[in-house]
Chain A
Amino acid sequence: MPDVEQLYLESRVALTAYFLRRHGSTQAAEDLVQETFLRLMRQVDRCLNAASPRGYLFGIARHVSADAWRKMKPELVPPAPTEPDERLAVARETIADMPALQREILDLRFQHDLSYAEIAEALDIPVGTVRSRMHNALAMLRERLETQR
């Protein structure tokens, strides 16, 4: 199936990064990418007919990640030591207070560069919800940053 092959070639690196960020180990990330594509093969028609196959693939990856979390406690890669930045500290605190769905939308967008449509497909929610949550998150962040000045 050339379409699946193409999807694999286009998404393998992004998916590895996605799992690496969540599970910390390269080996685990590669295994989870394989698991994602194995699951994809069981529902290949649905994926290729989805509004956004890449988003659909990330939706599968999300479930694979959640299953892996349940089986083992992952070791998150500790953040690299950096100079303290007050703005980032404020932003971190603000984002940490946001609902899980909103944080996941921010992650899929800013870390994995998924479009609104792809995020909607991955999280199985309407595109309008993705857009409004994104706008709302940035408005909250902006307000907190302006207050901090």
Chain B
Amino acid sequence: MNTETLRALLVDRQLGELPPDIAELLDAYLAAVPAARAEAESTAHTMSIARDTVRRYPELLPDAEKKIAPVVLWLLRAAALIVVVAAAGWFVHRTNRPSLVIETRAKSVWVQYQVAYDSRRGAYVVTQRD
């Protein structure tokens, strides 16, 4: 058994989270391997300090006051999403905007021409209608 597995089992056993049959096997292993027993003592010592520390210092509790309410969090996320979508829409609209077509009056001489703005070239293009 490697150290990591042994430590995990020892923690679970100390916390009463190990099934009885596994706990029994672990006890047999600890009885046979002195190094594992030392590991068990060290684990128990660490847990004892952790328990004492948590009990003695309530200020270690997560500060609920600083927590953002889930509703507020979701509203912030929704607002951020709207901003991103709006910005992306504006950008797409700006780059793919269809060329401006100026319809000329029917009776004008310009009726045979079409003026369009090519946003890629940044210039107006005059073409003759068919």
Q: Which residues in A have some Cβ–Cβ distance to B below 8 Å? A: 21-22, 65-66, 69-70, 73, 76-77, 79-80, 82, 87-88, 91-92, 95-96, 100-101, 103-104, 106-107, 109-111, 115-116, 131, 134-135, 137-139, 141-142, 145
Contact = CB atoms under 8 A, between A and B. Distances in A.
Dominant secondary structure of chain A at its interface with chain B: helix
A87 B67 CA distance: 30
Given A92-B53, A142-B43, 14 more contacts: A66-B64, A69-B64, A70-B69, A76-B59, A88-B53, A91-B52, A95-B60, A110-B50, A115-B15, A135-B11, A138-B47, A141-B50, A142-B42, A145-B49
Interface string B30-62: 000000000000110011011111111111111
Given A116-B17, A142-B42, A145-B49, A106 B54 contact: yes
Interface size class of B (residues with CB under 8 A): 20 to 34
A116 B52 CA distance: 19
Nearest to A146: B42
Interface of B: 7-8, 11-12, 15-17, 42-43, 46-47, 49-65, 67, 69
B67 to A, nearest CB: 6
A67 to B, nearest CB: 9
